[in-house]
Structure 1
Amino acid sequence: MKKIKKYLLNGMRIKTLTLVEWQVTSISSEETFVTITNTGFIGDKVVK
């Protein structure tokens, strides 16, 4: 596998700044593997 691109996006939420990272990896000439990681968020209240 060969990593070909990496994207970092900042997402603005109320009182919180989140980071979204996309890693795009070429598996073959016809296949691509994408990993998406979202960090820095605290989430919503628990709904019961």
Structure 2
Amino acid sequence: MPSEDTKERINKAVEIGRTILHYGWIPLIIYVGFTRSNPKPELFKLISPLA
């Protein structure tokens, strides 16, 4: 049976992983769409609201 220290480490790792997934999901989807589209859009047009 795992010790309390091991359980705390696992819980902390799951918490960190959940945070990374929460804040990284949308940028990952944008990146994948940006790199796999044809024709590839210009980065300036993606970032600039005036373009």
TM-score tier by shorter-chain length is under 0.3
The normalised TM-score by structure 1 is: 0.24
If the length of structure 2 is used for normalisation, what is the TM-score? 0.23
Specify which structure has the bigger relative contact order, considering alpha-carbon pairs within 8 angstroms and separated by 6 or more residues.
Answer: 1
More helix, by proportion: 2
The answer to which structure has the higher strand fraction is 1
